[in-house]
Structure 1
Amino acid sequence: MQKDLTHGNVQRTMLVFAGPMIVGNLLQQCYNIADTWVVGQFLGAGALAAVGAAYTLMTFLTSVLIGLCMGSGSVFSFYYGKGDKRKMQESILASFLFIGIISVILNIAVFAGMDLILKLMRIPEDIYTYMKKYVWVIFWGIFFVFLYNFFAYLLRAVGNSVTPLLFLAIASMLNIILDLLLVVKWKMGVGGAAWATVIAQIISGVGIGYYLWKKEPELRFIGNGISLKEACSKEVLPEVVRFSLAASVQQSVMNFGILMIQGLINSFGTAVMAAYAAAVKIDSFAYMPAQEFSNSFSIFTSQNYGAKDEKRVKEGVRAAVKTSLIFCGIVSVLIFLFARPLMLIFVKATEVKVLQIGVQYLRIEGAFYCGIGLLFLLYAYYRGTGKPEMSVVLTVISLGTRVLLAYTLAPLLGVRMIWWAIIIGWFLADITGVLYMKKKKI
């Protein structure tokens, strides 16, 4: 099921390849939303606030591993486009060992530092018990997040975006079914919602690994005649580490900034926390296709950059920008018009204050999705052309601006300044990324 992205109509190739990735992330958002819906409707605003804060924490922690896998995927797709299967196999073994060790260390560290983490997040006392119960369970899924994402990015690097979708679909449906059973029927509370997610993560991680081992022998990280010495050579390992760490830093800095924003939001009380927990799920769902399209664009760019086809890379840039901006414009209109009905999916009509805050968030931030859409493409472009460090720079600009403005202005002018700080950060990073591209003529 491998696909060479160095031939064929540029826009059609990217869209066809991106399709399963977009659908897969939609499914992933669906089972995230299932947690939020079940908790919000059956356990109340306090539990919803706790799960929402835990979701932000887990997004930060897993972004470290997802970024590492994403960066390694750029190396894999580069060598695949170049036609160097041997180097690709060496990179696969090196990256599996490198990221696998980090995932184990991270998993141990979060259990050891659980109380400190919750304290730093400024969790209100009325939801602290909910939060601790939820994260104690959800942390067990971290290693399996690594497994799924490593194999998913490996398969996508060689043009197979369908198989990761199938395993994600199975996990998504299982998570929704388990949510209903564990929380609604068996009354296991927030712990039940967490176990539903962890079980789904185990199935997807182990399942996709087994598939790759049986069906894609040339992509195995052992058994292809590649020695540990070759994988850890000065030519292979440093390149894997460079791309992996750059993408991981970019992803983790981005989500660390989001985590800091969550801490500020927590200081405004349970109503704001609950509104943000629901609204951010809608927000993530809305711009997710643009994010996944940019991941497709990154792999397209990396394969063609490896094949030294600069003309095709430039055609890809034009097609990607056009596609992303059109999509983001349409979604912005829809979110602005239907903000309240969307909030009512997660929040009861009687929660008037929560609804009001959530609608405000969606109508401010949702009007400017073109900013985040372009920023995703810039991240993808710099990863695909061998300059992953520039993605880190843009992330620091975006998140640094967001955090600085939010912490400075929100205590004085209210929570809405947090929403405006996010938008300003997007556009400053966009301007920087475009100007750098024109200056360096890349």
Structure 2
Amino acid sequence: MLVVILKVGLPTAIQMVVVNISYLMITGMLNHFGVAVAAASGVGLKVNTFAGMPCWAIGQAVTAMAGQNMGANHIERVKKTTEIGLYFNIMITLIVILFVQIFARQVIMLFNPVNQEVIEDGILYLRICCGINSLIYAVMYTFDSFAIGIGSPNVAMINALLDAVIVRLPVSWLLAFIVNIGSSGVYIGQAVSPLLPAIVGLFYFKSRVWESKRLINHSENEK
């Protein structure tokens, strides 16, 4: 049983480590562009984190319900749970990003009502990093939650690597320092990072390879 727990726990732990280290490195990149950009991106990240809370909550529900139905061998319920979770996540995320986009200036001014440079940089951050990309992130997170729930945390871990290591960091660095478009390049790198993992998650969900996956055999439970 300990081995089964580690099979789920270790990839999930690696996933979180990769994500957090990538954000530390993104912060380091943004610090090159001055105090105003660093402050604005810090505020933007806080707003983005708050905006993502409904998405994470629904994802946790998908994980729990998919796991329960997978254990009961109700494959169709796993699919239905994930699909409804996905639609619900997209709808709620859309409402949140519309609010953020409409009131971007007012939201940034809650944190820094004086410095116009910080306000403008913060608005730019939200325009790029809390828009259509947030809907793609909702798709990615829903499928990651599904994968963890059915006992395939390696899929979520691979997606974290695709998101952070393959897309976010290289694209941010290339656009910011090679193409030389500044902090906007880092914002764009963050915005496009969920796209590839979302596609991978969708393909995994649509495949049938996971339907026969079992972490614990029923015979072991009976023992």
**What is the TM-score with the length of structure 1 in the denominator?**
0.45
The one-letter code of the counterpart of 1:323 is F
Q: 1:218-271, CA deviations, whole angstroms, 9 ceiling, x for partnerless residues?
A: xxxxxxxxxxxxxxxxxx221122211111111111111111101111122211
What is the CA–CA distance in structure 1 between the aligned matches of 2:125 and 2:147, rounded to whole Å?
30
Q: 1:372 aligns with which of 134, 137, 148?
A: 137
Aligned ranges for residues 389-400 of structure 1 at < 5 Å?
Answer: 389-400=154-165
What is the CA–CA distance in structure 2 between the aligned matches of 1:424 and 1:315, rounded to whole Å?
28
Match of 2:31 in 1: 266
1:406 and 2:194 correspond? no
Report the Cα offset of residue 404 of structure 1.
Answer: 0.4
Give the conservation status (yes or no) of the 8 Å contact 2:105–2:123: yes
Q: 1:414-442, CA deviations, whole angstroms, 9 ceiling, x for partnerless residues?
A: 11111111121111110121123323454
1:416 and 2:184 correspond? yes
Give the conservation status (yes or no) of the 8 Å contact 1:257–1:403: yes
Match of 2:78 in 1: 313
1:354 and 2:118 correspond? yes
Q: Computing the radius of gyration over CA atoms, which structure comes out larger, 1 or 2?
A: 1
Match of 2:54 in 1: 289
Q: 2:109 aligns with which of 305, 328, 344?
A: 344
Unaligned runs of 5+ in 1: 1-235
What is the CA–CA distance in structure 2 between the aligned matches of 1:348 and 1:334, rounded to whole Å?
19
What is the CA–CA distance in structure 2 between the aligned matches of 1:375 and 1:422, rounded to whole Å?
14
What is the CA–CA distance in structure 2 between the aligned matches of 1:437 and 1:313, rounded to whole Å?
10
Match of 1:110 in 2: none
What is the CA–CA distance in structure 1 between the aligned matches of 2:62 and 2:33, rounded to whole Å?
39
User: Percent identical across equivalent pairs?
Assistant: 25
- Number of positions where the alignment pairs a residue of Structure 1 with one of Structure 2: 206
What is the CA–CA distance in structure 1 between the aligned matches of 2:54 and 2:197, rounded to whole Å?
20
What is the CA–CA distance in structure 1 between the aligned matches of 2:143 and 2:123, rounded to whole Å?
29
The one-letter code of the counterpart of 1:371 is I
Q: 1:259-292, CA deviations, whole angstroms, 9 ceiling, x for partnerless residues?
A: 1101111122211111111111111111211111
The one-letter code of the counterpart of 2:98 is V
Q: 1:309-340, CA deviations, whole angstroms, 9 ceiling, x for partnerless residues?
A: 11211110121111011111111211111100
What is the CA–CA distance in structure 1 between the aligned matches of 2:81 and 2:207, rounded to whole Å?
19
Aligned ranges for residues 242-281 of structure 1 at < 5 Å?
Answer: 242-281=7-46
Provide the secondary structure at the position in 1 that maps to 2:41. Answer: helix
The one-letter code of the counterpart of 1:250 is Q
What is the CA–CA distance in structure 2 between the aligned matches of 1:438 and 1:376, rounded to whole Å?
16
What is the CA–CA distance in structure 1 between the aligned matches of 2:82 and 2:187, rounded to whole Å?
29
Q: 1:395-422, CA deviations, whole angstroms, 9 ceiling, x for partnerless residues?
A: 1111120000111111211111111111
What is the CA–CA distance in structure 2 between the aligned matches of 1:318 and 1:416, rounded to whole Å?
34
The one-letter code of the counterpart of 1:340 is R
Match of 2:207 in 1: 439
Q: 1:288-318, CA deviations, whole angstroms, 9 ceiling, x for partnerless residues?
A: 1111110111011111111111121111012
The one-letter code of the counterpart of 1:296 is A
Give the conservation status (yes or no) of the 8 Å contact 2:54–2:93: no
What is the CA–CA distance in structure 2 between the aligned matches of 1:348 and 1:423, rounded to whole Å?
26
What is the CA–CA distance in structure 2 between the aligned matches of 1:331 and 1:379, rounded to whole Å?
21
What is the CA–CA distance in structure 2 between the aligned matches of 1:249 and 1:357, rounded to whole Å?
32
Match of 1:15 in 2: none
Provide the secondary structure at the position in 1 that maps to 2:170. Answer: helix
Q: 1:197-235, CA deviations, whole angstroms, 9 ceiling, x for partnerless residues?
A: xxxxxxxxxxxxxxxxxxxxxxxxxxxxxxxxxxxxxxx
Give the conservation status (yes or no) of the 8 Å contact 1:371–1:423: no
Match of 2:220 in 1: none
What is the CA–CA distance in structure 2 between the aligned matches of 1:250 and 1:303, rounded to whole Å?
22
The 4+ residue runs of structure 1 with deviation greater than 2 A are: 436-442
The one-letter code of the counterpart of 2:117 is K
The one-letter code of the counterpart of 2:152 is K
Cα RMSD of the aligned pairs, angstroms, is 1.2
Unaligned runs of 5+ in 2: 211-223
